[in-house]
Every structure is written in C-alpha cells, then in structure tokens.
C-alpha cells in the first residue's frame, strides 16, 4: 500500500477576507485624509481670523490716530483763537490812550484895541474847551489852569474845573472866563505892528492830570496837554482860527 503523506495543507485566504481588509485600509486612509483636510481648514481659518483681527486692530489704531489729530487741531485752533482775542483786547480795550485837550471856541464880551499912541488890547473872553476821551473807560481829571500868552509873554489865565469824560465821548467845559490884557508887555514889542496888520496871534497852554478807569476796575494815570495857537481878526472882533497840536 502506498504510504499516506501527512503534509500540512495550505488553504488560500478567502476572497471575503481580502475585501474587508482593503476596505478597512481605505477607510483609515480616508479618515486620515479627512482629518488632515480638517486640520488644514482649521489652520487656514485660524490664519484668516488672525489676519482679520490684525487688520481690525490696524484699522482701529488708524481711527484713534485720526481722532487724536482732530482733537489736537481743535485744541490748537482754540488756543490760536483765544490768543487772538487776548491780543485784540489788549490792543484796543485795555490800551490806554491819551485824551485830547483842545480849545473849541472863544467869544468876546469886551473887545478893546488901541494902536496909538500906546498899542494895547483889552479882552474879556469866554472860552470853551473839550476833553475827548478815546478809551473804553471813563477819564476823571482834576482842575487846572489855562495860560494865555502873546509872543511868549503872559497876558491872562482861565480856571479849568475838574470833570469826567465818559467812554468814547467828549467832555465840553463851557464859559471859562478870562481877561486878556497887554499891560505887562514890554514897550519895544511887535504889538503895534500886529495890531496895525489887523491880525493878533495868541497862544493858550494847559495840562490836565487824571485817571482812566478801564472795565470799572483797572485805573491808569494819564495826563494830557493843551497847546493851541489862536488867530484873532481885529476888524470883525472874532477868532478866525484855532490850531491845536
């Protein structure tokens, strides 16, 4: 009898087993791919979010910078405006101007002139003066005297009472009485020639001292001078011209 061999038999893997294994491998590969794709999408999304946040941060900083520049421009404009107001106020309202002191008119109550043998004149006059105040505040002045002269020699004086000139106004002082005489003039003066010419030139000088009160608080001392040349027409017995410096 032939001898029976006891070799082990090799059985091939079933077809169903191979298909299941391939399916599992593919499923694992697809799962890994999906995970990688999901990781990549998440990474890209995080990059976009970071990029958007950075862009928003830059845009927010730019908005804040523009606001700061706008506020700074407002502040600078306000400072410039206030400085201009202060300078304008200092140059106009707070600047103390010297009041003007002038002879406004002279009328004669008595008019006497002699040309020979001894040239002389004798006038009784009424004088009106004005104190023009150009300040934004009152000007209060003390009383004073006004001196008249001919050719540098005194011929008379008038009393100027105290008073007050209002804001941007003129204080008129009327009926200041004076007597103008040539008695004290030297005999060798040019009075005869002037009287014969029909024109007599006199001079009036005075000074007022007072204070200007600005905005009811600030007081500044201020003096003003009067210096007027007076031309008298002897024929018409009236003042022809008053020229004040």
Question: CA-to-CA distance for 215 and 98, rounded, in angstroms?
Answer: 17
pLDDT of residue 184: 87
Whether 230 is covered by a domain: the verdict is yes
- 164 and 198 assigned to the same domain: yes
135: number of Cβ within 10 Å: 22
Q: Is 218 helix (H, G, I), strand (E, B) or coil?
A: strand
What CATH number corresponds to the domain at position 147?
2.60.40
pLDDT given for residue 14 in this prediction: 46
Q: Do the domain assignments include residue 6?
A: no
Positive or negative torsion for Cα 49, 52, 54, 57: negative
pLDDT for the residue numbered 244? 96
Asked which of 57, 91, 125 is the last residue of a domain, the reply is: 91
Whether 106 and 208 map to the same domain: the answer is: yes
Query: What pLDDT, on the 0 to 100 scale, is given for residue 50?
Result: 52
* Cβ contact 151:181 at 8 Å: no
Q: Domain check: are 108 and 68 in the same one?
A: no
Are 233 and 128 members of one domain? yes
| Residues in the chain with pLDDT values less than 50 | 1-5, 8, 10-11, 13-17
Residue 9 lies in a domain: no
Domain identity same for 139 and 204 = yes
pLDDT of residue 108: 97
Kindly state the tokens that stand for 149: 């002269």
Pull the structure tokens for residue 88: 């304008």
- pTM assigned to the model: 0.65
- The answer to whether residue 47 sits within a structural domain is yes
> Which of 34, 66, 91 is at the close of a domain?
91
Using the 3D structure, point to which of 72, 91, 110 is the last residue of a domain: 91
Which residues on adjacent β-strands are paired with residue 172? 130
> Is the same domain home to 104 and 205?
yes
Report residue 219 as tokens: 């007081």
> Both 63 and 139 in a single domain?
no
Residue 8 lies in a domain: no
Q: Helix and strand tally (H, E) in the chain?
A: 2, 10
Provide the number of structural domains found in the chain: 2
Instruction: State whether 86 and 112 are in the same domain.
Output: no
Is 171 contained in some domain? yes
**Residue 10 domain flag:** no
**Is 177 part of any domain?**
yes
Q: Which domain holds residue 148?
A: 100-244
Regarding whether 197 and 135 lie in a shared domain, the answer is yes
Cα–Cα distances in angstroms (integers) from residue 85 to residues 92, 94, 208, in the given order:
10, 12, 33
């Amino acid at each position: 009898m032939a001898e029976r061999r006891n070799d082990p038999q090799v059985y091939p893997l079933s077809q169903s087993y191979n298909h299941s294994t391939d399916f599992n491998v593919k499923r694992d590969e697809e799962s890994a791919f999906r995970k990688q794709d999901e990781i990549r999408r998440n990474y890209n999304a995080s990059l976009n979010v970071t990029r958007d946040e950075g862009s928003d941060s830059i845009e927010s900083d730019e908005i804040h910078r523009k606001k700061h520049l706008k506020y700074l421009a407002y502040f600078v404009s306000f400072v410039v405006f206030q400085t201009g107001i202060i300078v304008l106020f200092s140059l106009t309202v707070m600047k103390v101007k010297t009041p003007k002191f002038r002879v406004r008119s002279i009328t004669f109550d008595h008019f006497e002139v002699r040309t020979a043998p001894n040239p002389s004149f004798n006038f009784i006059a009424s004088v009106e003066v004005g104190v023009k105040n150009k300040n934004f505040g009152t000007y209060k002045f003390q009383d004073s005297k006004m001196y008249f002269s001919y050719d540098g020699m005194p011929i008379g004086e008038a009393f100027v009472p105290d008073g007050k000139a209002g804001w941007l106004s003129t204080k008129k002082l009327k009926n200041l009485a004076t007597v103008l005489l040539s008695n004290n003039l030297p005999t060798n003066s040019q009075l005869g020639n002037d009287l014969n010419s029909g024109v007599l030139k006199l001079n009036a000088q005075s000074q007022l001292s007072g204070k200007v009160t600005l905005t009811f608080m600030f007081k500044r001392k201020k003096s003003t001078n009067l210096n007027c040349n007076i031309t008298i027409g002897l024929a018409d017995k009236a003042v022809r011209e008053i020229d004040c410096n």
